[in-house]
Amino acid sequence: GNGNGKKDEL
């Protein structure tokens, strides 16, 4: 999982 969110999206 990715708890920090997809901060690579706009």
Partner 1 sequence: MNLFRLLGDLSHLASIFILLHKIQTTRSCRGISFKTQALYVTVFVARYLDLFYRYVSLYNSVMKLFFIASSVYILYLMKYKYRPTNDPSIDTFRIEYLLGPCVLLSLIFNYKFSVTEVLWSFSIFLESVAILPQLFMLQRTGEAETITTHYLAALGVYRALYIPNWIYRYITEDGVVDPIAVTAGLVQTGLYIDFFYVYFTKVLQGQKFELPA
Residues that bind partner 1 (CB under 8 A): 1-10
Cβ of residue 1: shortest distance to partner 1, in angstroms? Answer: 6
Report, in Å, the least distance between residue 5 CB and partner 1.
4
CA gyration radius, the chain: 7
Cα separation, 8 vs 6, in Å, equals 5
What is the nearest approach in angstroms of partner 1 to the Cβ of residue 7?
7
